[in-house]
């Protein structure tokens, strides 16, 4: 099959002269997740799955936290130790790396259908604040202590869509694309970090409270699931030869991600910017 990748509009040829064919691409870029689901990791928005109580509500874990803070911050704690003051309810995702590969089949010079797979690893960040009894002799320092809440997840995206190219007199070809998406999310970590020490907020003991030296077996709970939605994108194709091109593209995913926050699961916009390397099937026919 001849490649469908063409550098410019050729007015000397008829539309019927443009052969059908495949393009393949790989791409990479940045992904920005909607902060709505980032709050899943704050330990109070879905306590069935991610619970701050598994750290500060367990007396053995709380004792470890108190000892760490006492030793590192060099403060004097009373019998109550540190006290929870505030939990971040406005967590956000860091910008993430996304990679992508796909195949397009061109029905004519303008219209193509594509199948695509993408993957991104997201990190949600937020904070938690403790205070303590500053009236104890020796506690001259401010009593506010801030620590990090961090969640990590893996997202996979499967899309089937339509791709439309606009032929112009220039050397670049604008295009738009629309797709239906099936996605899956898997929670990898949900942690409270105190003085660089990690305390998980997930149920890794199958519903049993942590007790030191009790022989508890750790499990890896499955949190997340399948979601879906719609994707729209636009960009330009920059051909170098008949079979090789680059495509900068911006996409908006209006999708449902299977993470429940405050008893809600919502369709929300997520964004990514990628650069894709296009290879026409003529490359493989040689």
- Per-residue pLDDT tens for 153-196? 999 999 999 999 998 887 899 999 999 999 999 999 999 999 98
Residue 84 pairs in a beta bridge with: 130
Tell me: pLDDT of 10 over 80: no
Length of the chain measured in residues: 286
Tokens in use for 157?
């995206």
Give the H/E segment covering residue 68. Answer: helix 59-73
Q: What percent of the chain has pLDDT over 70?
A: 90
> What beta strand segments (E) does the chain contain?
21-32, 83-87, 92-93, 96-106, 111-131, 145-165, 173-194, 197-200, 224-239, 244-256, 267-280
Tell me: pLDDT of 17 over 50: no
Put simply, whether the predicted model's pTM sits higher than 0.75 gets the answer: yes
Fill in the DSSP letter of residue 40.
G
pLDDT at 281: 67
Beta carbons of 100 and 155 less than 8 angstroms apart: no
The mean pLDDT value for 128-136 works out to 86
* Domains in the chain: boundaries: 15-285
Mean pLDDT, all residues of the chain: 89
Cα separation of 120 and 195, whole Å? 28
Beta carbons of 282 and 243 less than 8 angstroms apart: yes
Q: What percent of the chain has pLDDT over 90?
A: 72
Q: Which fold has domain 15-285?
A: Porin (2.40.160)
Cα separation of 131 and 170, whole Å? 63
Cα separation of 218 and 117, whole Å? 32
Quickly count: other Cβ atoms within 10 Å of residue 201's Cβ: 25
Tell me: pLDDT of 11 over 80: no
Flag the least confident range among 48-62, 209-223, 270-284.
270-284
Cα separation of 126 and 141, whole Å? 24
pLDDT at 280: 82
pLDDT at 18: 44
User: Torsion over CA of 89, 93, 94 and 99, rounded to 10 degrees?
Assistant: 170
Tell me: pLDDT of 123 over 60: yes
Tell me: pLDDT of 30 over 60: yes
Cα separation of 71 and 116, whole Å? 52
pLDDT at 20: 79
- Angle at Cα 185 formed by Cα 183 and Cα 191, nearest 5°? 160
- pLDDT for 91-116, tens place per residue? 999 999 999 999 999 998 899 999 99
């Amino acid at each position: 099959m001849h490649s469908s990748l063409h550098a410019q509009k050729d007015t000397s040829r008829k539309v019927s002269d443009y052969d059908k064919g495949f393009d393949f691409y790989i791409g990479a870029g940045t992904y920005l997740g909607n902060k709505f689901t980032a709050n899943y990791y704050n330990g109070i928005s879905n306590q069935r799955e991610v619970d701050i109580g598994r750290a500060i509500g367990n007396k053995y874990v709380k004792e470890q936290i108190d000892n760490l803070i006492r030793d590192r911050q060099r403060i004097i704690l009373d019998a109550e130790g540190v006290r929870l003051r505030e939990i971040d309810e406005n967590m956000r995702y860091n910008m993430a790396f996304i990679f992508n590969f796909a195949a397009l089949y061109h029905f004519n010079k303008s219209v193509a259908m594509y199948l695509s797979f993408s993957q991104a690893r997201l990190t949600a960040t937020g904070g938690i604040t403790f205070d303590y009894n500053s009236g104890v002799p020796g506690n001259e320092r401010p009593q506010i202590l801030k620590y990090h809440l961090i969640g990590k997840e893996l997202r996979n995206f499967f899309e089937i869509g339509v791709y439309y190219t606009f032929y112009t007199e220039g050397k670049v070809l604008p295009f738009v694309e629309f797709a239906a998406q099936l996605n899956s999310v898997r929670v990898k970590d949900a942690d409270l970090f105190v003085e660089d020490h990690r305390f998980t907020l997930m149920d890794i003991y199958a519903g049993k409270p942590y007790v030191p030296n009790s022989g508890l077996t750790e499990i890896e709970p499955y949190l997340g699931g399948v979601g879906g939605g719609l994707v729209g994108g636009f960009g330009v194709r920059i051909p170098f030869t008949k079979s090789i091109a680059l495509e900068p593209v911006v996409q908006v995913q209006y999708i449902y991600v299977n993470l429940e926050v405050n008893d809600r699961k919502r369709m929300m916009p997520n964004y990514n910017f990628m650069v894709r390397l296009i290879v026409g099937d003529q490359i493989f026919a040689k």
